[in-house]
Structure 1
Amino acid sequence: MKKTSRTIRILSLFILISLVGFSTSCTSQQIAGVLGSIGGVPLTKEEIAKALKDALVQGVMKGTGLASKDGGYFNNALIKIPFPKDAEKVATTLRDLGLGSEVDRFVKTLNRGAEEAAKEAAPIFKSAITSMSIQDAYGILKGDKDAATQYLIRTTTEQLKAKFKPVVSRNLSKVNATRYYGDLVGRYNQIPFVKNVNPDLDDYATELAIEGLFKLVAEEESNIRSNISARSTDLMKKVFAQAPQAQ
């Protein structure tokens, strides 16, 4: 009975929101006033934001699961990490010297390191999905097809980089990507008359590994918005039924 009553209140909330045409600029007090008129028992901020948090967590879990598979980065053109852009001349020069296979081996291990790191990414991402307000939730619900992902990018990228960089660094060393990179750059820097290069591999791999995970999260968010069967909870189904369909 308690579960049924709660379901009715949740459904009534979003029907009422649609009828009164709430904007994303509503204050907590205004929203609370409307909530108080629904059966006399207002829903909490946490209950209303839960479906959006669930969607983000679902996207993160699926995204990190895909990325952490063998070839998850390397075989996916959307998120494959290329040779560092600041050192492309290193790759080009070494290929010209017949060392293309060494360059290819490094790129593969670079992506393998990201795949290993992705196995540890889910808890880091999930811990960041904690402070979504009721205004954030409604804005995401009525926003673009990647509004939840953009919220996550906007509010968590810097802390994710700080937490994820040691994970990436450890796993790049684990699969020998760091050593291969050092060997390649070392060979290049020994060539007469070239300007030495040594971009920070950990920073580069961390940034692109996180960007890749966000891209996969965005794909899953779009799927949740456009595909009813992708909504894994009853609450998510009810909430996203009120959202604009992804195009």
Structure 2
Amino acid sequence: MKFIKPLFVASAVLLVTPSCDVLTQLPNMTTNLPLSEAEVSAGLKEALTVGIRNAVTQTSATDGYYGNSLIKIPFPEEAQRVKTTLTNLGLNSLIDDFEESMNHAAEQASKKATDIFVDAITKMTINDAMGILNGADDAATQYLKRTTENQLISEFEPIINSALQQGNVTQYWTDITTKYNQIPFVEPVQTDLTGYVTERAIDGLFVMVAQEEKEIRENPQARINDILKRVFGSLDSPQI
């Protein structure tokens, strides 16, 4: 027997039902009473909190970036010619050390994300929550990106800069660019390494947050507590 995905059902309800009648369309599995907008908001906040904690746990673990092909931070794109040239010169180990250290810096910084995300979730209004419920599959992720990206940059940059220094990444980069720039007739390379790693670290974090959002929306097994089951699971119904 097929079941309609809960967010699709919710979207249909919100699109065809006046706002004053929305509450009567979301039954409570336990009590058979309608869910209020406040309960829907609480459920979505809980869903986001669960999701971001899972995402940050993954990214901040050892090799959370370096071992994940989806978010691993690669050699700077604008300096790919440097990587190619140095690889041809047999300097692969220097490049490997550099890439690994960049990713470990991102893993350290991502630990700061939880408090920033939780603060944004706490400030979410009921209108925000209902918009997410009725929005695209990544509506919650986009909400977090809008409301936290600037603060994430501010928090991540000093941590990443410090980690790059401690992990000798800056020295690796100096060694790499120095060797490259000494090659006759090449165009010298200069890259804002801290800015690059910060940007890619935040991008990777949101990739993982989006995965968590998708999981909670689509997988009943991911609804790990009663309030999530009420908001999402109670909307599952047999397809007629």
TM category (shorter chain) comes to: 0.7 to 0.9
Q: What does residue 161 of structure 1 align with?
A: 153
Structure 1 unaligned residues grouped into runs of 5+ = 1-16, 36-41
Structure 2 unaligned residues grouped into runs of 5+ = 1-8, 25-34
| Contact 2:55-2:205 within 8 A present in 1 as well | yes
| Contact 1:141-1:242 within 8 A present in 2 as well | no
Query: What pairs up with 1:145-156 in 2 under 5 angstroms?
Result: 145-156=137-148
Distance in 2 of aligned mates of 1:219 and 1:243: 21
Q: 2:102 aligns with which of 104, 110, 132?
A: 110
User: Residue type matched to 1:80 in 2?
Assistant: K
Aligned-pair CA distance for 1:49: 2.1
Distance in 1 of aligned mates of 2:163 and 2:196: 14
User: Residue type matched to 2:180 in 1?
Assistant: Y
Q: What does residue 11 of structure 1 align with?
A: none
Distance in 1 of aligned mates of 2:185 and 2:114: 45
Q: What is the RMSD computed on CA atoms of the aligned residues? A: 3.1
Change in CA separation of 1:135 and 1:116 when aligned onto 2, cut-off 3 Å? same
Distance in 1 of aligned mates of 2:120 and 2:226: 24
| Contact 1:161-1:207 within 8 A present in 2 as well | yes
Q: What does residue 58 of structure 2 align with?
A: 66
Aligned-pair CA distance for 1:120: 2.8
Query: What pairs up with 1:1-247 in 2 under 5 angstroms?
Result: 21-23=13-15, 45=38, 47-241=39-233
| Contact 1:124-1:163 within 8 A present in 2 as well | no
Distance in 2 of aligned mates of 1:21 and 1:106: 52
Change in CA separation of 1:125 and 1:141 when aligned onto 2, cut-off 3 Å? same
Distance in 1 of aligned mates of 2:16 and 2:168: 49
Identity %: 44
| Contact 2:101-2:164 within 8 A present in 1 as well | yes
Of structures 1 and 2, the one with the larger relative CO (CA 8 A, separation 6+) is 2
User: Residue type matched to 2:144 in 1?
Assistant: L
| Contact 2:43-2:227 within 8 A present in 1 as well | yes
TM-score normalized with structure 1 length: 0.77
TM-score normalized with structure 2 length: 0.79
User: Residue type matched to 1:141 in 2?
Assistant: L
Change in CA separation of 1:227 and 1:106 when aligned onto 2, cut-off 3 Å? same
Aligned-pair CA distance for 1:144: 2.8
| Contact 2:14-2:134 within 8 A present in 1 as well | no
Change in CA separation of 1:169 and 1:191 when aligned onto 2, cut-off 3 Å? same
Distance in 2 of aligned mates of 1:98 and 1:236: 54
Aligned-pair CA distance for 1:232: 2.6
